[in-house]
Structure 1
Amino acid sequence: MNAIDSVALEVADTTAAARFYDAAFGLDPTQVRLRGCDAPTTGFRGFTLSLVVSQPGNVDALLTAAHDAGATVLKPAAKSLWGYGGVVQAPDGTVWQLATSVKKDTGPVTRDIDELVLLLGVEDVKDSKRFYVEQGFTVGKSFGGKYVEFVAGEGAVKLSLYKRRALAKVAGVPAGGTGSHRLVLSSAAGPFTDPDGFVCEATAPPTVTDPGTAHATGVR
């Protein structure tokens, strides 16, 4: 089963972006990386990243930290039929959803993140679903031509597909946009470019230390 191992956000200023993400979310660097890029981009980039947490207080804590670090609040946190959440846009332009399916706090408030979800806004959900299945991804949930969610192993980024206009509406931004997505995926299934122009690189295999070298240098 293939999955998205990590994502790279392409930003104009990696130092400023690293400062923001450390202050706002404290993201796992094995899941979210930063890469310098000045490729032209305007409007909605066709994706959002979601931080799924365990309770509403954690959503509020992340949203406040993000706003204090310089993010723009696109949608204040609020209750909905599915739970509780809000949306912010980082200074580099990436849109982040902060969400929980729980409607009441049950413990101390933290900024702990339970799951990272990448939602791609696509033109044809069925076509994109077919493409990713052909790359070895396993469907976890599917609702016709509206939404698809793929299975992700422990430590992986969960991949979901949504109609582009619907995702833009959820994000609170106009659906139009041109230029670079400013996003690069990493997976054992790569390299490939999907039907909507999202690029995936091959995940680098883990470095294996030569036993002889390890012995010689004293590494165990």
Structure 2
Amino acid sequence: MASIGAALGLRCTVRALDLQGRARRNWLLTASVAIASGIWTMHFVAMLGFRVAGTPIRYDIPLTLLSLLVAVVVVSAGMLTVGHYAHARFRALTLGGLGTGFGVAAMHYLGMAALRLDGSVGYDATRVAFSVLIAVAAATAALWAALSVRGITGAVVASLVMGLAVSSMHYTGMSAVRVTVSGDGAVLPGATAMEFIFPLTVVLGSFLFLTSAFVALSPTARERADAAMARPVEEIELPTR
């Protein structure tokens, strides 16, 4: 899911960088929603497999939705930074990578803060810090790809690398989790994963798949121009008497 979101985001960014004004902004915002949705969906698809022996698990709905909003806002800020400083690559990568990376990490830990279980959740500080570094590196790599990648093959490779990096950030963060089960048997607030998380991930996943298909099948203006220039000129045979 993270790779699909990254692939869609990169394709939208390619279109954005060939345009100016409102059209560029709209494509960058579409790219932001795609990347953020892919990252968020990856996180909660992975959380569908999270179990703690001795306690059920619930999710606080407002905090879960807030984590999605944070993901969209910070990735949008990063992508708009790329669009604004497209010709100043170092500044775009530095500002955008740091902001987006910390935002992705904030999304992850907000999502974890939404966890409700019969006990307490703690973290190993060193592994948390390492997960944040991975998030910044993944975000910077994604923004670099947004500025550099043009071809389909490069976009596929870049999206797979970003998906792997985002997943690495997630599981590094999860390895920092320390759960202490109290066993009080108290009624937990919130919704179960199947009641809330699963339907929302299906909706976002469907959005990514359908939009990816649409964007992937529509070439950019530059690709159409390159294809036209590369097309061989057919020789016309004049009729002979």
TM-score for both structures, normalised by structure 1: 0.26
State the structure with bigger RCO (CA 8 A, min sep 6), 1 or 2: 2
- Name the one with the larger strand percent: 1
- Name the one with the larger helix percent: 2
TM-score for both structures, normalised by structure 2: 0.25
Larger Rg: 2
